[in-house]
């Protein structure tokens, strides 16, 4: 049995949902059981919901209410195209109620002029809760024995609103109670990704792009044979197709390579997706919902060596470099601890680190607490902040045993000023930090050298 996660574009409109249903039906025939279907919000809906909350909180109530009516219309029209009026009636009234409730929340936010993370999660979760209900209804209409599962009863998280972490043991138990009995009864469980709830029952979300993570959590929880990520590209590509015109498909890669690529910016996979799969050794496959018969990318514990020296590249924009120089002449022991304690205190992850005799440079991509961090570091060090930098990461298992590849990466970039270069213990990636303005040229050079 497989778990199939469908992203926003794969549930964007009635035609996309019909393609999804055909894909789920094929999986059911092949595996004789399931599948479990996990869906994102319809494309752009999460952004719209977050804008509604922001607008309402800023006092732009009319704008927020106008947006809510557009969302209501889009969901009702999609349902109407898939399910005849009589069968759709109960869900129509649920959808109407949900949007009435959202409008009431917007009015309250406009009065309070403040949006708490907890309220933001209630609003953001609506996208997946609705899309999953619509997909379940459409599946039943199409003759699949589907049943909607409320993700808030399936994924249990801590209370870190807007980027909640799942509680593994509790989530396992919740999935055994909510999803496994349906599979045993021959049904097709359908649930929204991205969404969970705390043990106290407060709605949470797993962070942007988190539906992939939900798919993997469900896959691990029900012990799936495979976790499938259905999206709008052919699989993991050698580079971000928005930066490189014709990247190649990576047919197979290892869990470790996929985790590095996701962490360093390959948006096709949420960075946490691989962890539940690793734990249970469940293969992950990335597939194109427009081309259901294509092979996609298969991600497993070990992958055969790639023909190319590198497996793929990833990049992050809007990276900030922070240079921290010890007030004393040398970095006394304890200095690094002091530095990292500051980042810990302000809950800011550091991506890349390099050091010299007197200074340490780190990169962050979450700038929310940067001013406070700089102030705290300035108590014991000299601090220089450089915004508008980018991170470029070349990944491949072959880097581990073939040192010449890393040297070649740096040589190819010889005319690009590199601010930091790093290769960590896994030696599966070599990462460089450069000016944002140099990123696309650097990517093109590397891609040309290693993949064409």
Q: 88 vs 393, which CB is nearer to ligand ADP? A: 393
The pair of structure tokens assigned to 13 is: 């409109």
**Which residue in the set 88, 146, 149, 236 belongs to the binding site for ligand ADP (CB under 6 A)?**
236
Listing DSSP states for 14-61 in one string gives: HHHHHHHHHHHHHHHHHHSS--EEEEPPSTTHHHHHHHHHHHHHTT-H
Q: 215 vs 396, which CB is nearer to ligand ASP? A: 215
Q: 193 vs 309, which CB is nearer to ligand ASP? A: 193
Q: Is 9 among the residues that bind ligand ADP (CB under 6 A)?
A: yes
Q: Is 172 among the residues that bind ligand ADP (CB under 6 A)?
A: no
Q: Which stretch binds ligand ADP (CB under 6 A): 198-206, 228-236, 355-363, 429-437?
A: 228-236
Q: Is 258 helix (H, G, I), strand (E, B) or coil?
A: helix
**Interacting partner of 9 out of ligand ADP, ligand ASP, Mg ion, none (Cβ under 5 to 8 A depending on kind):** ligand ADP
H or E segment to which residue 297 belongs: strand 297-300
Q: In angstroms, give the least distance from the CB of 5 to Mg ion.
A: 9
Do residues 154 and 179 touch, judged by C-beta distance below 8 A?
A: yes
Q: In angstroms, give the least distance from the CB of 360 to ligand ASP.
A: 33
300-319 mask for ligand ADP (x: CB under 6 A)?
------------x-------
**Interacting partner of 237 out of ligand ASP, Mg ion, ligand ADP, none (Cβ under 5 to 8 A depending on kind):** ligand ADP
Residues 184-243 that bind ligand ASP (CB under 6 A): 193-194, 208-212
Q: In angstroms, give the least distance from the CB of 206 to ligand ASP.
A: 8
Q: Is 41 among the residues that bind ligand ASP (CB under 6 A)?
A: yes
Residues 370-409 that bind ligand ADP (CB under 6 A): none
Q: Are strands 353-355 and 359-364 parallel, antiparallel or unpaired?
A: antiparallel
Report the candidate in 167, 422, 391, 393 with the shortest Cα–Cα distance to residue 276: 167
239-268 mask for ligand ADP (x: CB under 6 A)?
xxxx-----------------------xxx
Residue 89: other Cβ atoms inside 10 A: 11
Q: In angstroms, give the least distance from the CB of 54 to ligand ASP.
A: 15
Do residues 241 and 249 touch, judged by C-beta distance below 8 A?
A: no
Do residues 266 and 314 touch, judged by C-beta distance below 8 A?
A: yes
Residue 38: burial class (beta carbons within 10 Å; 0-12, 13-18, 19+) = buried
Do residues 179 and 221 touch, judged by C-beta distance below 8 A?
A: yes
**Interacting partner of 208 out of ligand ADP, ligand ASP, Mg ion, none (Cβ under 5 to 8 A depending on kind):** ligand ASP
Report the candidate in 45, 46, 65, 175 with the shortest Cα–Cα distance to residue 109: 65
Q: Is 150 among the residues that bind ligand ADP (CB under 6 A)?
A: no
Q: Is 131 among the residues that bind ligand ADP (CB under 6 A)?
A: no
Q: 239 vs 446, which CB is nearer to ligand ADP? A: 239
CA dist 302 and 255 (Å) reads: 7
Q: 236 vs 303, which CB is nearer to ligand ADP? A: 236
Q: Is 119 among the residues that bind ligand ASP (CB under 6 A)?
A: no
Angle CA(347)–CA(351)–CA(357) in degrees, nearest 5?
105
State the Rg of the chain over Cα.
23
Q: Which stretch binds ligand ASP (CB under 6 A): 17-25, 39-47, 133-141, 240-248?
A: 39-47
Q: Go through 254-263 and write b for each residue having 16 or more CB atoms within 10 A of its CB, e for each that does not.
A: bbbbbbbbbb
Binding site for Mg ion (CB under 5 A): 7, 209
Binding site for ligand ADP (CB under 6 A): 7-10, 40, 209, 231-233, 236-237, 239-242, 266-268, 312
């Amino acid at each position: 049995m497989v778990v199939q996660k469908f992203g926003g574009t794969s549930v964007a409109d009635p035609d996309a949902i019909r393609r999804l249903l055909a894909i789920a039906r094929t999986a059911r025939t092949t595996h004789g059981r399931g599948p479990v279907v996990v869906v994102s919000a319809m494309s752009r809906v999460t952004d719209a919901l977050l804008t509604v909350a922001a607008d309402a909180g800023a006092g732009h109530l009319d704008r927020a209410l106008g947006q809510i009516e557009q969302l209501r219309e889009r969901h009702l029209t999609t349902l109407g195209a898939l399910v005849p009026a009589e069968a759709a009636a109960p869900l129509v009234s649920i959808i109407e109620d949900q949007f009435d409730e959202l409008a009431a929340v917007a009015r309250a936010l406009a009065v309070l002029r403040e949006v708490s993370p907890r309220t933001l999660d209630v609003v953001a979760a609506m996208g997946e809760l609705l899309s999953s209900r619509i997909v379940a209804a459409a599946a039943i209409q199409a003759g699949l024995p589907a049943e909607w599962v409320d993700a808030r009863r399936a994924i249990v998280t801590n209370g870190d609103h807007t980027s909640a972490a799942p509680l593994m043991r509790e989530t396992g138990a919740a999935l055994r109670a909510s999803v496994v009995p349906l599979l045993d009864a021959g049904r097709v469980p359908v649930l929204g990704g991205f969404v969970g709830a705390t043990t106290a029952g407060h709605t949470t979300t797993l962070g942007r792009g988190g539906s992939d993570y939900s798919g993997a959590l469900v896959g691990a929880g029900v012990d799936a044979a495979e976790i499938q990520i259905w999206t709008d590209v052919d699989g993991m590509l050698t580079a971000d197709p928005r930066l490189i015109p014709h990247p190649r498909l990576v047919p197979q890669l290892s869990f470790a390579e996929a985790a590095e690529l996701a962490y360093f910016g390959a948006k096709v996979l949420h960075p946490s997706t691989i962890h539940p799969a690793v734990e249970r050794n469940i293969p992950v496959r990335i597939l194109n919902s427009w081309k259901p018969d294509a092979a996609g990318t298969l991600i497993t514990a070990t992958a055969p060596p790639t023909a190319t020296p590198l497996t793929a590249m990833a990049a992050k924009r809007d990276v900030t470099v922070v240079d921290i120089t010890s007030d004393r002449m040398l970095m006394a022991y304890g200095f690094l601890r002091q530095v990292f304690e500051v980042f810990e205190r302000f809950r800011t992850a550091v991506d890349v680190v390099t050091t010299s005799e007197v200074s340490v440079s780190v990169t962050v991509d979450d700038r929310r607490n940067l001013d406070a961090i700089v102030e705290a570091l300035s108590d014991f060090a000299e601090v220089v902040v450089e915004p508008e930098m980018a991170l470029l990461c070349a990944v491949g298992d072959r880097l581990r045993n073939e040192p010449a590849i890393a040297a070649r990466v740096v040589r190819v970039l010889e005319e690009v000023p590199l601010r930091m270069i790093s290769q960590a213990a896994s030696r599966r990636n070599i990462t460089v930090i450069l000016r944002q303005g140099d990123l696309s040229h650097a990517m093109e050079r590397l891609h040309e050298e290693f993949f064409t």
